Amino acid sequence: MVALLAVLLIGSGALAVDLGNAFARKRISQTQADLAALAGAAQLPASDPTSIQKATDAAWDYLIRNEVIGQDSADLGALKQTMTNGIPSDGEICVGDLTSTSCVANPNLISVLTPDAQVDYALGGVFNQNGIDVQAYAQAGIFSPGKIAPFFIPYGCSTPLPTQIFVKSGAQSTPTDPTPQLWGTGQRPGDSSGMAGKNGTPAVDTVVPAQIGFGATPSSRPLTDVRVVAGDVTLTSTAANFSYLDIGADVVVDDVVFTPSGVPRSATGSMSNGSAVLTSATASFTVGDVNQQVVVERGKGNNNPLTTTIVSVQSPTQATLAAPALANVNNRTITITPGTLSDLTTTIAGVTSATQATLAPAPVPGLDKVDATAVVTQPSTLRVEVTGQGFVDAGDGVASMVVAFVRGAQSYEVTVQGDDITRNKYSNPQRDSLMVTVPEEVLSLADSRWYIQVRSSAGTTWSYAEDQQNDAILEISSSADPGDQCGERVTGDFGLLNSPRSDANQLGVRLNLNIAEGLDHAVQEFPGPTPLTANGTLIDPTDKDNCRISPQTSITGAILDDEASVASGKIPNCMEINNGNKVDDTTDGLITGGTNPRAYDGRLESGPTTPCARSNYLRLGTSVNNDVLSCFLEQGNILAAVNGTGPKFRSQIIDSPRFMFVPVLWANVNPQNGYYPIERFAAAFITDEIPQTEASTGGQSTATADNGIPTTNTKVQGIEVIPFELSRLPEQVDYNGQVIPYIGAGPKVVRLIR
């Protein structure tokens, strides 16, 4: 009995020793698999044979250099040849998800199954057990740090990305709106009610234009396909991109036709009885002949000639006359009296559409030009509408006024007097119009924002100071072409998305949470290279709702970002634009936070981000993060070229609540509501720094007190961001926060999955 028990005790002890050895070998193999998978994941994404080979080589290299006791070196050496043979016993490396029978390709994942490690039992032979084979499995992948924000950039404003872009709380106006909305003013321009100054002091009511699209000197741009008509005040140009910025601009139309006439020319022509069509092989008709006099002989001795005008020209050999022939006229002499060619110089008085403007003065009668070219030159003056008392002297005399352009510590004053002041003493409250020449110091600082304040030359009280809510703002754009519609406050170059959430059904609540916390699900690029196609057909970015053929039918390849797709586990590639007045939702999501469906903080409700040492500022009763983009520049970089070849940003930028990933949607400027494909992703940072001047300064910046988030006393008025391509960010970052599936570009976070 004692002998039997001794055998059992010795056998149990031997089994415990051998099993402990097997467990230890398993742990070592698991570490080998984990680190091999991480080594391979560092080379992801991998979608082509070359990149797949690079990732598998990295994983294999770690395995071969860190062989576990009991693994057959021959198996390891042959691993590269057998990695996809589906036989687990010899080990597997799979760029994708490894199942028991196959490798499901995924460019952002790598799976490693180690070769067998033989564990020989030292004492297990007592129970006829010689040993055991152990293997370990690990999977690693790449992810993008943070989450996608519910904002978008239209593709029409992304090639290249503009220097700065804006969203006015989701409400977007059209670029041809002749009465622009101005940030910081108490009302829309054109509102006849006026705006009284605080405590009886003057207030700036309107600045027109709100933006000036040129640098130190007025800029010009050519127009093509121009038509001006005799006696009409309208100038049309199919590619003009007119906007309210052109009001007051000078226009020169080349070689318009005037009367009295130039030198007559003769030719031979024919026309049928009752017809107004004149045919001549030698006339060489041109559009310059339109509205000009023509004399057609009817018989010998030039008896009763037909004298009329040319209505239109069909070709060099054919023209239509105002009066038809009373008899057949064959091979008779015709005399054409052309107009004198000269340039028309006038001014744009108003803009009615992107292709049509009104002129002042109008072209004189007898003037016409079709398919001409014209040059529009914007002025360096702007009109400031002011209301309030104290702007004029007693009686009917008009005092001189002082207009100040203020940006931080910079201030330039201009005195306005005489004919540059238009007084309307019958308006209530009193309203005056000032024509102000913008200082060169202001114009030369491209992409800058200036507060405009006014006072009477005899007074000392200015209109609202910079930290108040009712100042007018002047934008100076670096665009050489004022027709460029991107990067301006009046255009839709940055907008809001309606994206579903698992914890909220109402639109406003979803938007709140998505702004504060980012989307709660993954989204991805639409498949295929740019320009995007569906079933071989190009997708037109100017089409409304171009991810759908109808509300019930999507285009080929489209996965809509709706509740059904997300609930089924699909990753959407078409997102829903949802413009409109979402001021409250923008405010809650950005700053104040909310309680529905649970308590959450606003996106910017956090402290400074290292290395940015800027103190928070108070907005709407909330302490708001005050980071600026220049804090995160690599040493020696400046913001002068946010895209292209520089600059580079530090990895800490990802930790700032002002940083966000946003989709670039396959849509034109000012897209209508609907679903649009994701063309790619870009980065954006909330700030109003000037990209041309900011450098890496450790937190010193010329950003205004708003720092990209202007507010009223109760609400956010808009968001100003600097967008940039993801290539400006580090390729790989050490990041411990929340991640999303890799978005195809930008920083990679390598994570062990299992």
Q: Please check whether residue 189 lies inside any domain of the structure.
A: yes
Q: Are residues 213 and 346 in the same domain?
A: no
Rounded distance, CA 118 to CA 741, Å?
Answer: 37
Q: Please check whether residue 746 lies inside any domain of the structure.
A: no
Q: Are residues 543 and 684 in the same domain?
A: yes
Q: Please check whether residue 719 lies inside any domain of the structure.
A: yes
Q: Are residues 416 and 509 in the same domain?
A: no
Biggest alpha carbon distance in the chain? 153
Positions of E strands within 262-362: 265-271, 277-279, 293-296, 306-315, 318-321, 329-337, 339-353, 356-360
Find the domain containing 727 and state its range.
151-158+491-734
Q: Are residues 643 and 495 in the same domain?
A: yes
Task: Count how many residues are written for the chain.
Answer: 754
Total number of domains constituting the chain: 4
Residue given tokens 């008896």 in the structure block: 303
Q: Which of 579, 580, 575 is nearest to 675 (CA)?
A: 575
Q: Please check whether residue 747 lies inside any domain of the structure.
A: no
Q: Are 345 and 249 in contact (CB under 8 A)?
A: no
Interval 658-678: pLDDT, tens: 999 999 999 877 788 899 999
Q: Strand, helix or coil at 390?
A: coil
Q: Which of 682, 551, 691, 593 is nearest to 633 (CA)?
A: 691
Give the Å distances, CA to CA, from 510 to 168, 515, 517, 720: 19, 9, 10, 22
Q: Are residues 318 and 437 in the same domain?
A: no
Q: Are residues 37 and 101 in the same domain?
A: yes
Q: Are residues 519 and 649 in the same domain?
A: yes
Q: Strand, helix or coil at 16?
A: helix
User: Which of 358, 377, 396 lies at the terminal end of a domain, its last residue?
Assistant: 377
Nearest 10 degrees: Cα torsion 679, 684, 688, 693: -90
Regions of the chain with pLDDT less than 50: 168-218, 260, 365-366, 389-398, 427, 465-471, 478-485, 489-491, 699
Residue given tokens 């980071």 in the structure block: 627
User: Which of 316, 350, 377 lies at the terminal end of a domain, its last residue?
Assistant: 377
Q: Please check whether residue 739 lies inside any domain of the structure.
A: no
Q: What is the CATH number of the domain that holds 306?
A: 2.40.30.180
Q: Are 493 and 669 in contact (CB under 8 A)?
A: yes
Q: Please check whether residue 348 lies inside any domain of the structure.
A: yes
Q: Are residues 362 and 426 in the same domain?
A: no
Give the Å distances, CA to CA, from 60 to 57, 81, 82, 324, 732: 5, 11, 12, 91, 21
Q: Strand, helix or coil at 22?
A: helix
What's the confidence (pLDDT) of residue 206?
Answer: 38
Q: Please check whether residue 484 lies inside any domain of the structure.
A: no
How much is the CA Rg of the chain, to the nearest whole Å? Answer: 37
Q: Please check whether residue 749 lies inside any domain of the structure.
A: no
Rounded distance, CA 582 to CA 454, Å?
Answer: 32
Q: Are residues 255 and 308 in the same domain?
A: yes
Q: Are residues 255 and 360 in the same domain?
A: yes
Nearest 10 degrees: Cα torsion 508, 510, 513, 514: -110
Nearest 10 degrees: Cα torsion 4, 5, 7, 11: 140
Q: Which of 348, 349, 347, 353 is nearest to 175 (CA)?
A: 353
Q: Are residues 500 and 613 in the same domain?
A: yes
Rounded distance, CA 625 to CA 619, Å?
Answer: 10
Give one DSSP letter per residue of 198-228, joined into a string: GGG--EEEEEESSEE--SSS--EEEEEEEEE
Rounded distance, CA 316 to CA 741, Å?
Answer: 64
User: Which of 355, 377, 399 lies at the terminal end of a domain, its last residue?
Assistant: 377
Q: Are residues 450 and 540 in the same domain?
A: no
Rounded distance, CA 440 to CA 447, Å?
Answer: 14
Rounded distance, CA 249 to CA 240, Å?
Answer: 13
